[in-house]
């Protein structure tokens, strides 16, 4: 069974060793080759905090409710110099039912605040999205792209 999932995701990053995501309204479209094409809407949010300099842990709410972790694999740029920073990351997502979403490495573009009072506040976007490459349980064979 192949499923295709597409979702829109938005978030913000604070570079002071804390990563938090803004609440999101996601739309996921799933299609099975064994059934008539259909779409299912889902919504929710995810929030993560840095638990180590290169790792976050958090939760997802809504239809994909569960646990979420992000491992920072590489950083391009310097935090605090007023220029964008690019993070290469790997996501780990397990729903509350124990199903796993398998995701490719992704790049997060973090843009600094223009406020001189908040030089370490960044907003970020997955400009190329996060590619879904499979999963377990109801996400077995899933493919798609999460976009911020």
Residue pair 86/111 in contact (Cβ under 8 Å)? The answer is no
Please write the tens of the pLDDT for every residue from 81-90. Answer: 889 999 999 9
95 Cα distance to chain centroid:
14
> Which residue do the tokens 């907003």 mark?
123
Please write the tens of the pLDDT for every residue from 27-42. Answer: 344 444 443 454 556 6
Residue pair 66/59 in contact (Cβ under 8 Å)? The answer is yes
Pairwise CA distance, residues 44 & 57, whole Å: 17
DSSP state at residue 123: E
Pairwise CA distance, residues 14 & 23, whole Å: 15
Q: How confident is the model at residue 10 (pLDDT cuts 50, 70, 90)?
A: very low
Residue pair 90/71 in contact (Cβ under 8 Å)? The answer is yes
In sequence order, what are the beta bridge partners of 109?
86, 125
pTM for the predicted model, two decimal places: 0.71
State mean pLDDT over 96-102: 95
**Kind plus residue range of the DSSP H or E element containing 143:** strand 142-147
Residue pair 126/146 in contact (Cβ under 8 Å)? The answer is yes
């Amino acid at each position: 069974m192949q499923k295709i999932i597409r979702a829109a995701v938005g978030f913000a990053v604070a570079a002071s060793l804390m990563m938090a995501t803004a609440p999101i309204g996601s739309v996921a479209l799933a299609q099975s080759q064994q059934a008539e094409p259909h779409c299912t809407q889902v919504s929710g949010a995810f929030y993560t905090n840095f638990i180590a300099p290169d790792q976050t842990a958090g939760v997802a709410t809504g239809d994909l409710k569960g646990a979420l972790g992000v491992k920072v694999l590489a950083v391009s740029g310097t935090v605090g110099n007023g220029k964008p920073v690019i993070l290469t990351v790997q996501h780990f997502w397990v729903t509350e039912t124990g199903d796993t979403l398998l995701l490719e490495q992704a790049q997060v573009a973090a843009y600094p605040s223009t406020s001189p009072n908040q030089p370490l506040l960044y907003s970020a976007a997955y400009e190329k999205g996060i590619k879904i490459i499979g999963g377990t349980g109801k996400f077995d064979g899933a493919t798609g792209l999460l976009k911020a």
